Amino acid sequence: MKNIIIASTSTIHGGEYLEYLLPELSKHFKNCKTILFIPYARPSGITHEEYTAKASLAFAKINIAVKGIHEFENATSAIENAEGIFTGGGSTFVLVNELYRNNIMTVLSQTIKKGTPYLGTSAGSVICGLSMQNTNDMPIVYPPSFQTTGVIPFNINAHYLDPDTQSKHMGETRETRIKEFHAYNTIPVLGLREGSWLDVKGSKILLKGNLSARLFRQNQVAEEIESETDVSYIK
């Protein structure tokens, strides 16, 4: 049975890394002594070691050890044998590129579908969708494909941001960009605001956190989804 937390962000304003999620994570990973960390997204370009140390520090607060996937000789078996898996945020392009380069996109998808508890934040959440095409990140590397794990049947826009009505900036709003996506694609997109997450248990997908989320579908007006809604109907 799938057991996944898909969080918009690792950190909310004024909080520590993962702090707001720790009570959830304590339950989510309750049978894990050690979880596998995938640090490939390298936020601000930090190393795999530095990023793993950061994740370790947060998980130490709930008595869970963290081991980086780069510490294993065989990334595939590291995933297959993990008690739990966490993929951190950073650059979705770098993350997806590394998952393909290490030939583990498929095994990651299969392992999550089999029920290994998984946590994604930001880029680590984007890869839960069918494709990474609704990332906000800059295309700083060229991945061999935009397809991701598809452990949920729609796409995620993390750090979803409402249009700033006071802004004099003429660049596209997030909503405009997602509408452009739907000029060429039919995949629904769920905009998850910072502090929101999806709790996936088997075929049930609950929206959690205090905020509503914004659902975008091709040729339809965007709609607000309230917290605690089962969004497993979206496909």
Binding footprint of its own copies on the chain (CB under 8 A)? 9, 11-14, 42-45, 90-91, 93-94, 132-142, 145-146, 158-159, 161, 168-172, 176-185, 194
Q: Which of 26, 56, 159, 212 is catalytic?
A: 159
Q: Which of 122, 125, 131, 196 is catalytic?
A: 122
Q: Which of 8, 137, 196, 199 is catalytic?
A: 137
Alpha-carbon distance 54 to 150, whole Å? 27
Alpha-carbon distance 142 to 100, whole Å? 11
Given the complex with its own copies, which of 73 and 138 has the nearer CB atom? Answer: 138
The phi, psi pair for 98, rounded to 5°, reads -70, -40
Catalytic annotation on 137? yes
> Which has the closest alpha carbon to 77: 110, 113, 101, 47?
110
Q: C-beta of 205: minimal distance to its own copies in Å?
A: 23
Catalytic annotation on 164? no
Give all strands (DSSP E) within the chain, no chain letters: 3-7, 34-38, 65-68, 85-87, 118-121, 155-157, 189-191, 197-201, 204-208, 213-216, 223-225
The residue assigned the tokens 């065989």 is: 74
Catalytic annotation on 196? no
Q: C-beta of 188: minimal distance to its own copies in Å?
A: 14
Query: What residues act catalytically?
Result: 122, 137, 159
